[in-house]
Amino acid sequence: MNPIPANSTGWIDEYHQGVRYGLEGEILINEKSKFQQITLIQSKRYGKGLLLNGCWMTAEGQEKHYHECLVHPALCSAKCIDRVLIIGGGDGGTARECLRHKEIAKLDMVEIDGKVIELSKKYLPSLGGKAWQDPRLNVNIQDGISWVANSPNASYDIVIVDGSDPAGPAKGLFNKAFFKDCRRILRPNGIFATQSESPEAFREVHIDIVKTIREVFDFADPLYGWVPMYPSGWWSWTFACIDGPHYKKPILKRAEHISKECEIWSRRWQKGAFEAIPLFIERELNK
Amino acid sequence: MNPIPANSTGWIDEYHQGVRYGLEGEILINEKSKFQQITLIQSKRYGKGLLLNGCWMTAEGQEKHYHECLVHPALCSAKCIDRVLIIGGGDGGTARECLRHKEIAKLDMVEIDGKVIELSKKYLPSLGGKAWQDPRLNVNIQDGISWVANSPNASYDIVIVDGSDPAGPAKGLFNKAFFKDCRRILRPNGIFATQSESPEAFREVHIDIVKTIREVFDFADPLYGWVPMYPSGWWSWTFACIDGPHYKKPILKRAEHISKECEIWSRRWQKGAFEAIPLFIERELNK
């Protein structure tokens, strides 16, 4: 866990292996929940922002870089998106982007830390937006690993893992047993999606996540984009399927509708981002 | 210009609009040349690094993210690469990547600040590598704008602009008059390449650069990648041609040879990076 410095300098930084990324601003809330240190800040550049255990999670002015890229490659590509599961995602941004898809009938969200939801609703209302009032949203404050373990076979069209770094409460969201359960609860033609860390700042972790997902699913590929506030700014999400790389083929009509309100995501962007794999990662994955 | 803080904290930061990016380390050299403040540091994460006017330029452990992406889309794609011009590039990294191409007969490098070359040779020898001793390299310490203005028509196959942000000595490397001269001195089938700032941290500047280049050249496209130490980590390079988007079609044989020693660049990566244009930039460019 990174320390949150006393705010005498006006800078709130995340520290990672000899690098720091800071936003100028002030701390609004800094409290310990049952699971983690939760910090909310008011920044000059990106509006209000959230840190968990001293690591940047999201900010009002930058959250679309992350949420659009986690959600739409899966939701614009799967044949059926009737039932969707989000593990984590307590700030509400992933649920908001999901619920822009009218075809979703029910969205289960399973967040371990109710305090993150409570504080996000209060301080970051634009992240969840209308999602919190959407009757299709079913919020459960409990452990996502048990939820997945206890879900029936083939019960979701889409499973999205929106957890923090593989340490603290999110650690169990990156191992083989968990991925196997995610595969088991996925319906035929379904898509699994997870954030998969930075190929630069968390190189080994990233490679390990992609390789493990490939062992469990028959098709899996990382997609590369940007989250400027995360270590190195260079981020990845990994998508997986049982029966073909459906995540690479967004459905035209759905994509056209969804991209109207997107800042980053488009069919073109998605196509490029799956190909823009740095050579050092491609070599590692082919070993 | 950003201030370089007294090094009492062990952190050297670039400050940009309420954001800071810092490396832990110590300052080795901090002196003013005729043109700018030059700072060399020893960092824990990326080895030795260079700042100009308080802005990160490069570091031993991260420089390939920038240099490969500026050089190879142009040099792997142009039919002929006999004569090459680099404006700027005093650290030597761009010249090194260029000279890996055996087909280059002569490489003119025009750097305004001889002090940058002198200090880079001494403190960052891996950046220039063998390029400094290569008989094909012709280094000129002078203003790149005059060099381009005084060069004969159609005298280069490739023109690469490797300057810092459009302020200080690099300001004149981003306007229409300069781009027009670059077009004039380019041979048929030649390729022009320039770094074109961050679509996030320098959004307006980036859009302006791409639009201006498109006004001057018949074909021009931005390509998106990562330089974690630059503001937002999200960077772009723009490529232009007179007679067709040659920069989009790397020659297979040349690309296979060059990519063997690359960390980021590959034909696949390049193809993806040209497509991975964020939607907010695509909209702006189509206005």
pTM here?
Answer: 0.96
pLDDT in tens, A128-167: 999 999 999 999 999 999 999 999 999 999 999 999 877 7
Pick from B109, B63, B71: which is nearest to B90 by CA? B109
**Domain range for B172:** 64-286
d(CA B236, CA B130): 27
Read off the tokens for B104. Answer: 């280059």
Residue A51: give its domain's CATH number.
2.30.140.10
Q: Are strands A219-226 and A186-195 parallel, antiparallel or unpaired?
A: unpaired
Percentage of the residues of chain A whose pLDDT score is greater than 90: 93
Q: Is B4 a domain residue?
A: no
Instruction: Write the CB contacts of A98 (distance below 8 Å, at least 6 apart in sequence).
Output: A71, A75, A84, A86, A104, A107, A131, A158, A160
Same structural domain for residues A40 and A146?
Answer: no
Q: What is the domain count for chain B?
A: 2
Judge whether B63 and B93 are in contact, CB under 8 Å.
yes
Buried b (16+ CB within 10 A) or exposed e, A209-236: bbebbbebbebbbbbbbbbbbbbbbbbb
Q: Let me know if residue A121 belongs to a domain.
A: yes
Is residue B265 located within the same domain as residue B131? yes
**Do residues A18 and A131 share a domain?**
no
Task: Note whether B22 and B163 are same-domain residues.
Answer: no
* Residue of A5, A62, A53 whose CA lies nearest to A233: A62
Contact (CB<8Å) B263/A278: yes
Residue A224 domain flag? yes
Beta carbons of A234 and B233 less than 8 Å apart: yes
Asked if B110 and B168 sit in the same domain, the reply is: yes
The answer to whether residue A79 is domain-embedded is: yes
Which segments of B118-271 are extended strands (E)?
Answer: 137-141, 156-162, 186-195, 219-226, 234-241
Q: Quick check: is B96 in a domain? A: yes
How confident is the model at residue B174, as a pLDDT? 87
SS3 call for B12: strand
Instruction: Identify the band that residue A8 occupies on the pLDDT scale cut at 50, 70 and 90.
Output: low
- B1 part of a folded domain: no
| Residue B243 falls inside a structural domain | yes
pLDDT tens for each residue of B145-181:
999 999 999 999 999 999 987 777 778 888 999 999 9
Q: B275 and A272 in contact by Cβ < 8 A?
A: yes
Same domain for B42 and B73?
no
| Active-site residue, from B162, B165, B181, B221 | B162
Q: How confident is the model at residue A77 (pLDDT cuts 50, 70, 90)?
A: very high
B139/B196 same-domain check: yes
Q: Are residues B84 and B205 in the same domain?
A: yes
Tokens (6 digits) for A23: 């936003």
- Cα torsion B71, B77, B79, B81 to 10°: value is 10
- Report the residue from B23, B266, B269 with minimal CB separation from A19: B23
DSSP string of B235-258, one letter each residue = EEEEEEESSS-GGG---HHHHHHH
Q: Which of the four pLDDT bands, split at 50, 70 and 90, describes residue A171?
A: confident
Residues in B touching A13 (Cβ below 8 Å): 20, 22
Chain B CB contacts of A43 below 8 Å? 18
Mean pLDDT of B185-196: 97
A·B CB contacts under 8 A: 134
- pLDDT tens digits, one per residue of B39-65: 999 999 999 999 999 999 999 999 999
A91 and A30 housed in the same domain: no
| Closest residue, chain B, to A46 (C-alpha) | B18
Task: Verify that B210 and B234 share a domain, yes or no.
Answer: yes
Residue ending a domain, among A42, A59, A76, is A59
Domain harbouring B213, CATH code:
3.40.50.150
In this prediction, residue B4 carries a pLDDT of 62
Claim to verify: residue B85 and residue B29 sit in the same structural domain:
no
pLDDT of residue A6 exceeding 60, the answer is no
Residue labelled with tokens 């870089």: A65
ipTM of the complex: 0.94
Sign of CA dihedral B22, B23, B29, B34: negative
Residue A2 lies inside a defined structural domain of this protein? no
Phi, psi of B107 (to 5 degrees): -125, 110
Whether B162 is catalytic = yes
Q: Report the share of chain B in percent with pLDDT over 70.
A: 97
- pLDDT of residue A168 exceeding 60: yes
Same-domain pairing of A35 and A70: no
Mean pLDDT value of segment A251-279: 97
Q: What is the pLDDT of residues A174-192, one digit of tens each?
A: 899 999 999 999 999 999 9
pLDDT reading at B241 higher than 80: yes
